[in-house]
Amino acid sequence: MKIVLVGGGSNRYLGIVRSMLAVPGLLEGGEINLFDPAVARSEVVGRLAMKSPEFRRNTCRVTWGTTLDQALDGADLVFVVLMAGGHASFSLLASASLQHGFIGSDQLSPSGAMLALKGGPILMDLARRMERLCPNAWLVDFANPVAVLSAAVNNHTRIRCLGVCAGYTNHQWDLARLLYGRDEQWADFEIRCAGVNHMSFILPGSMHRGRALYELAAERIQPGFAAPQLSDRWDATAKANITRSVTLLAGLYRKYGYLVFSSEGDGLAHLDMEGDYLASVRAAPPPPTAAQLEQQSRAAATARAAGDRQFASWLDVEMDEAQWNAERPETLELLRVDEDIMVKIAKAIGGDVELAIATSRPNSGAVAGFKARTVLEYSQVLSRDGIRAVGGLEVPDVFQGLVSSLATHQTLLGDAIATRDPHVLFDALYSYPVKQDTAESKALWRALLAMAAGDIPAEFQRTREFFRL
């Protein structure tokens, strides 16, 4: 089996490679190609992978430094991790969203839409190359917004694409904390879910060790619920964020009667409009000046360089298997991530097992009440024979309208990326459901399109005129 990791210099790939190498028979005699224009970074990931205990027990090759076409030729699985545009550009777009009364993020937000227009052409070029070089391979997109990019590829090329999210495993931590008061990752929850990425819902029929999750929730999430004490695996910032999200998840359950599948900030904000969404807007700092943006960019570059040096320093450290697997804040990037959805996808496609996952892809009749081409996140079963949806999925009635608007917004963004049609882009942006067709939203879309002009297809500047009508 040949697996290509685009953006192979990303430090997070090391744990994924270790876990893939640990799957019996998956990569014996095969290849992992770490493709990245920043060859020095992919080399560090590759050499660390080759130091790992899993590599020493495997006959797989780990390669880097190839051209993209060389990497893709004969691939079975292609994974993508990237963020289009730089730190300053994303910061500016997110800040502009806040100043106009909207949240900024990399997924469910106006700035997330701009990120899609930046990254979409890159992913479409990759899919077109795959049509020539590995037409039967799966493309697995981790680049946000994953639902938009899955829509573009699935609805407009012959390549099968799965949009995946690190938040896939959030429920394994969230439910252990919510239902059992344990700061642990439990992989044995049997989940049925449907919605959009960053805002899917756990459905009735979901189980844990023979008990219905909603029975457990009714018992455990009572008034006065408090998040559990967190372990030293997490630093202070992570602990604060986890406590906040678990508390909000409990509040949303008491308010709506449903458990959210993934605790991602922008998804939760859309479910707590007066609190989380508008509170973020009201607390927004003034927009950064050019000097501040430059300072932020330098700080981000400095922090990344420091992180890369720390990561690369492990090349000079000899570790036994126990040290490779030690859970400490400074070593989290070294750890295996056996439950990561990328690992599970590789295991299913390259092995003899069926695995339950949740990814973003066209609905195709899986979730009641949505068009076949509308991209949703929902429960599926994947194997080397293909993919099928778990049956009988429905978005809860209380969230049907919100999910439909967001899913339509993201699907139309995929159409706009593929066709470069400025009116299709207008339709996509118009359908974002917050403050729809208001003077505030029109001003925001015009401003964001102008700010992103250097990074998105030129045709989309015509879209600004539609927001003056």
On average, the pLDDT of the chain sits at 94
Q: CA-CA distance, 36 to 30, in Å (whole number)? A: 19
Amino acid at 99: Q
* Sheet hosting strand 189-190, strand order edge to edge: 189-190, 207-208, 211-212
Residue matched to tokens 């973003």: 360
* pLDDT greater than 90 at residue 297: no
Predicted confidence band of residue 213 (pLDDT cuts 50, 70, 90) = very high
If one counts every other C-beta atom within 10 angstroms of the C-beta of residue 405, the result is 17
Query: Residue 242's pLDDT is what?
Result: 94
Between residues 289 and 98, the one the model is more confident about: 98
Instruction: Report which of residues 165 and 420 the model is more confident about.
Output: 420
Q: Are 201 and 194 in contact (CB under 8 A)?
A: yes
**Count of CB atoms situated within 10 Å of the CB of 83:** 16
Parse the chain into domains and list their residue ranges.
2-86+106-164+308-332, 165-285+352-469
Q: What is the pLDDT of residue 404?
A: 98
> Which pLDDT does position 202 carry in this prediction?
97
Architecture per CATH, domain 165-285+352-469, reads as Alpha-Beta Complex (3.90)
What's the pLDDT score for residue 50? 97
Residue 85: is its pLDDT beyond 80? no
pLDDT of residue 451: 94
Percent of the chain whose pLDDT exceeds 90:
87
2-86+106-164+308-332: what fold? LDH C-terminal domain-like (3.90.1820)
**pLDDT grade for 88, boundaries at 50, 70 and 90:** confident
Q: Write down the pLDDT at residue 82.
A: 84
| Residue-level pLDDT at 288 | 84
Residues 6+ apart with CB under 8 A from 270: 108, 199, 277, 402, 406, 434
Q: What is the DSSP letter of 102?
A: -
Question: Are the beta carbons of 9 and 42 closer than 8 angstroms?
Answer: yes
The answer to whether the CB of 192 falls within 8 A of the CB of 390 is yes
Tokens of 370: 């949505």
103-154 pLDDT, tens digit each? 999 999 999 999 999 999 999 999 999 999 999 999 999 999 999 999 999 9
- pLDDT, tens digit (0-9, with 9 covering 90-100), for 374-385: 999 999 999 999
Q: Do domains 2-86+106-164+308-332 and 165-285+352-469 have the same CATH topology?
A: yes
Confidence check: pLDDT of 166 > 90: no
